[in-house]
């Protein structure tokens, strides 16, 4: 079987347009597709929230990873990188969590083809 070639879409879709397109192509109702998208969102949230594993993979497409950045202390008298010879104060920053979305092989191939 030959894989069908997908046509490029020129304009960005809204959530409603995405749900409509998926429902037309799969034979599911718009309500069912909306429920699947909402459940997928819930599933991602449960993986990434505070006591979750911190990683979610949508097979073949993308991987969402959280990374904890530790707090930094305030520093005084640090050389200013933009104005040589001048000193500056760097304020303290609280600990935070970064979210990174990484494309997987299949998604990278979509962009190049």
Per-residue pLDDT tens for 38-96? 999 999 999 999 888 999 999 989 999 999 999 999 999 999 999 998 999 999 999 99
pTM assigned to the model: 0.73
Contact 50, 96 (CB under 8 A): no
Give the rounded distance of the alpha carbon of 55 from its chain centre. Answer: 11
Domains along the sequence of the chain with CATH? 15-112 (4.10.520.10)
pLDDT band for position 107 (cuts 50, 70, 90): confident
- pLDDT of res. 88: 92
């Amino acid at each position: 079987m030959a894989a069908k070639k997908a046509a490029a879409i020129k304009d960005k879709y809204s959530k409603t347009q995405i749900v409509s397109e998926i429902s037309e192509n799969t034979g599911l109702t718009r309500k069912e597709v909306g429920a699947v998208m909402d459940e997928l969102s819930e599933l991602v949230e449960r993986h990434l929230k505070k006591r979750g594993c911190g990683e979610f993979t949508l097979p073949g497409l993308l991987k969402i990873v959280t990374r904890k950045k530790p707090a930094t202390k305030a520093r005084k008298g640090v050389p200013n990188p933009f104005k040589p010879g001048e000193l500056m104060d760097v304020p303290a920053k609280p600990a935070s969590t970064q979210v990174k979305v990484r494309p997987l092989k299949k998604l990278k191939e979509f962009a190049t083809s």
